[in-house]
Structure 1
């Protein structure tokens, strides 16, 4: 028994190390995106050399981690087999024939030869009349039942529960500023709307009065909720964790609502500026200089703000990709999706000006828009941190078996209390379009 305990301890340590390695390998995906951006942005020899070194270092680290993981998995499987063999040997030794001695003396020797574990199983069998074979390997070996024997039914294998391709939530919700407002009735954010103005003065005279302007944005909690039911019997009938998958789906559903609310808040805010386009058709507004016009429209007259993201509909991303030059008809824009996050990436024009983009289906597509005399808001560009979301208690997913207990159902309820708005003046530039 002591040997088995030691083997199990070693096996647990191997599994823990394998878990850490898998987490490390998963973390390489975000690193790949950063290195890809570094390679794409490299222009000088020094930058290219540094990018090549970063690629080599990343590949070396990935290879080392994967090789170590493969070794640990192989050793863990071998150790698992060794544990099973040791358990079978211990079970055989505990359950063997105690000899042919009879009478009280033979029975006493038999009791002395029993291990505590075997004696406990005998007592359980005497009390309940049932026995459960814990070591399936030794049980099959003793009965000599073959898989080809008549009447033997094999189990049906199942894989994991696959999500559909494209079941992605916009990354915009993860880019905005999050504030914990638990315990507050509301949350107010102040901002500076106008600076003071200085002017030429006259010695001995009072300067012209000038004061800064201030404003505020108030966030108040709004409840979003959902409910679903899962049969308790699924736990017994399938090795797949349907309950966990329903919880995951509930989380995604709540995040979709929060993402839509955040986009709606940006488009409705009066703190933003606009970049106005005029044309007969939205698709005709995608010109070789549209991206640079949007980027340079963001910020003040004396600066080009960085750390900004273009939030747009996927149809507009396709429209950017379709723009061709007038001479050689080559693509004007290069689109580089983020391998670690399908909803974001980098868009770059042939002049070298680039920015990050984030797809969101709640943004009206400019490319499919038929402009009218009233300007309609479409994509927007800016620093996502200029949009703030207050959370009252966070996203909660609860599982309860009381409400539908009589029907054998688990109740899964999700809810979130939040509010979003733009809290920085000129935080975004919104692209609008109308007919001439």
Structure 2
């Protein structure tokens, strides 16, 4: 009997609350209209993300956060208004509950079944509004389940977006020619043969390689959470491909099925004798790199220094003079920036002078258009639910056919570590 009394008290409270909702629904207030508009907009954003099209995730993330904050402010305002109304009525916000006993077994059973059904339906309806009604009063417990996922630190160097890209859909490996040198003319006497000069060319081979990435998630991650983990998984596969390719632009060995990186001995466009050797980063290092690159007639501009974050830190922290002033003005901007006005790009494939062994490559300097990346196929990302159907696992895989190589004679000045103790 006490159980029936307790459940029936809840039922009366729910009926009272439902009636109030029904009455207030006859004339939609500005607050109710705005909450409905917020819900509709969040539904549009969720549908947009489920299409797996490329969208501005940061912009959508900020918009969802703003909508959540606005909805919470509206709910807080409504609660405060309700409390002031109760105080004006002189009851101090107290909510009374009607207690009724039901002694008819059949009626009591029907009430209990209907009661359970009402609770289940009530929970399902209110879940989307991120709040749970406990009784007929105004006690509301918000469920702050975020619909967005915080991104981690950037792990892809922008180097991949700055080098020269050649689309060769369906193509195979190819050779890119470049000029090595042209001769110098000479005086010729009247009636004598013209002076012979040599014009030397070379070529860089760009081989097709296959870069892939694979990931699995459970079906619960795809279907249940409010946050769109599945979309982030697909985006993560694409970023994994870009991360590998961005690093290979520097360190690819050039062997079968691999990029030919700037540091590779197979980058035949670069003469190893032009490599710059340094044993430390000092106040002269940047000038030595800039004036050491290019031919005898020019100081090349519009070039970029590719280096590790650790070596960039050493440039920024270097102090000189009696006044202990900074040797370099480093202006960072995410993955890029400038050192004394010279543009740089951070790439984790570059070495660090703090951990390098004798002969290790540290940096590269030159116009990024001197590296050519050929894309032989579109980036293909697929999802399959069949591979591990019994386990409920959903597989994602991505692949792209691409290759790259240095395509200009001595297109980059490579900086190597020279151990003074060797």
Measured against aligned partners, the alpha-carbon deviations of 1:30-64 in whole angstroms (never above 9, x if no partner) come to: xxxxxxxxxxxxxxxxxxxxxxxxxxxxxxxxxxx
Aligned to 1:271: 269
Aligned to 2:330: 335
How high is the TM-score relative to the length of structure 1?
0.61
Contact 1:287 1:323 in 2 (8 A): yes
Task: Give the 3-state SS of the residue equivalent to 1:397 in structure 2.
Answer: strand
* CA distance in 2: counterparts of 1:188 and 1:153, whole angstroms: 69
2:296 aligned with 1:301 = yes
Q: Classify 1:153/1:370 alpha carbon distance in 2 versus 1 (closer, same or farther; 3 Å).
A: same
Select the residue among 382, 385, 404 that pairs with 1:401: 385
2:285 aligned with 1:290 = yes
Correspondences of 1:360-375 after superposition (within 5 Å): 360-371=347-358, 375=359
Contact 2:311 2:352 in 1 (8 A): yes
Correspondences of 1:15-164 after superposition (within 5 Å): 146-148=133-135, 156-159=143-146, 160-164=148-152
Contact 2:366 2:413 in 1 (8 A): yes
Contact 2:305 2:364 in 1 (8 A): yes
Contact 1:275 1:294 in 2 (8 A): no
Task: Give the 3-state SS of the residue equivalent to 2:193 in structure 1.
Answer: coil
Q: Classify 1:400/1:155 alpha carbon distance in 2 versus 1 (closer, same or farther; 3 Å).
A: farther
Q: Classify 1:296/1:367 alpha carbon distance in 2 versus 1 (closer, same or farther; 3 Å).
A: farther
- Going by fraction, where is helix more abundant, 1 or 2? 1
* CA distance in 1: counterparts of 2:133 and 2:310, whole angstroms: 59
* CA distance in 2: counterparts of 1:420 and 1:394, whole angstroms: 16
Contact 2:352 2:362 in 1 (8 A): yes
| Paired residues, number | 307
* CA distance in 1: counterparts of 2:133 and 2:268, whole angstroms: 76
2:232 aligned with 1:245 = yes
Aligned to 2:344: 357
Q: Classify 1:370/1:227 alpha carbon distance in 2 versus 1 (closer, same or farther; 3 Å).
A: closer
* CA distance in 2: counterparts of 1:226 and 1:303, whole angstroms: 44
Contact 2:204 2:268 in 1 (8 A): no
- Runs (5+) with no aligned partner, structure 2: 1-27, 46-54, 75-120, 252-260
Select the residue among 395, 398, 419 that pairs with 1:414: 398
Aligned to 1:93: none
Select the residue among 234, 253, 259 that pairs with 2:221: 234
Q: What do you get for the CA RMSD once the two structures are aligned? A: 4.0
Instruction: Report how far residue 369 of structure 1 moved.
Output: 2.9
Task: Give the 3-state SS of the residue equivalent to 2:217 in structure 1.
Answer: strand
Contact 2:172 2:376 in 1 (8 A): no
Instruction: Report how far residue 397 of structure 1 moved.
Output: 1.5
Contact 2:175 2:203 in 1 (8 A): yes
Contact 1:319 1:367 in 2 (8 A): no
Instruction: Report how far residue 171 of structure 1 moved.
Output: 1.4
Task: Give the 3-state SS of the residue equivalent to 2:320 in structure 1.
Answer: coil
Instruction: Report how far residue 408 of structure 1 moved.
Output: 2.3
* CA distance in 2: counterparts of 1:153 and 1:397, whole angstroms: 44
2:179 aligned with 1:199 = no
Q: Classify 1:147/1:291 alpha carbon distance in 2 versus 1 (closer, same or farther; 3 Å).
A: same
- Runs (5+) with no aligned partner, structure 1: 27-65, 79-131, 349-353
* CA distance in 2: counterparts of 1:147 and 1:295, whole angstroms: 71
Instruction: Report how far residue 149 of structure 1 moved.
Output: 5.5
Contact 1:188 1:219 in 2 (8 A): yes
Select the residue among 360, 366, 381 that pairs with 1:382: 366
Aligned to 1:223: 210
Task: Give the 3-state SS of the residue equivalent to 2:325 in structure 1.
Answer: coil
